[in-house]
Amino acid sequence: MLRAIVARGALARGDADPMPVRRIIAVDRTQPAELFLDGRIEYVRGDYEQPRFLARVMGMITDSIFHLSALGAGLRAGTQIEDLDTALLYSLDTTRTLLDACRFQTAPPKLVFASTVQASIDRASLPQSTDGVCAAMCELLLVECARRGLVDARCLRLPCLVGNRSCAQGVELEALLADIAAGRAPPEAGQALTAVGIGLPDEAAAALLEAHELPRAPPGEARITEMPGRFVRIGDLAQP
């Protein structure tokens, strides 16, 4: 995501005028050993569900927010009921804290929420996974905050992202790819199609930027769009 923002160089503000990206604050609980370095990026590590932490980091003039922390909330927590509090902490609690920080902004910021296709709700079905339930609750909260004029919200439902460990199927696929590459799985396994629609992290980053640049939704509404996944041969993913 950081590479995509830096490469783009400018983003549309709430008034639709493009503005150069001058400062990027990357907030996470942990940081990898190798960081993507750019003079505009400032890395901050902390538990961002803590009260006022994000408010201090964001200050009063933050134009755009890319909210990625809910991805894989259920996976990190597991599927047992005793882990529900952890899943809610990574998704709903963090989103509420972020929205509280948005109250201090001089103008409603654009907020792009990385959701999941598992969050889809219709009359015939409800989300069937912890990830889906948590993401759906976050989407509804963002819709309400957009209605109240707190943020300009855009929710993008992503497919299973290969290599991002954002869904249980992705973890299983990653393990199978490792077995194929190491010769522990037969070559025939590579001929099968992925069981779910998938996407790549760089594709997701591009889609999140596209969601950010969409025109403002009608007053009181939040945009909810879906990035289509695709079914591919597992063997193709195993190629270097």
List, for residues 98-156, the tens digit of each pLDDT value: 999 999 999 999 999 999 988 887 766 788 888 888 999 999 999 999 999 999 999 99
Mean per-residue pLDDT for 50-79?
84
Contact by Cβ (8 Å): 135, 119: yes
Model confidence at 93: pLDDT above 90:
yes
Mean per-residue pLDDT for 148-172?
85
Confidence of residue 82 (pLDDT cuts 50, 70, 90): low
Q: What is the reported pTM? A: 0.88
Distance of CA 116 to the CA centre of its chain: 8
Confidence of residue 79 (pLDDT cuts 50, 70, 90): low
Per cent of the chain over pLDDT 70 is 93
Contact by Cβ (8 Å): 77, 84: yes
CA distance 213 to 176: 36
The count of C-alpha atoms lying within 13 angstroms of the C-alpha of 10, restricted to the half-sphere facing its C-beta, is: 6
Contact by Cβ (8 Å): 71, 36: no
Contact by Cβ (8 Å): 222, 214: no
Angle at 104 between CA 86 and CA 54, to 5 degrees: 35
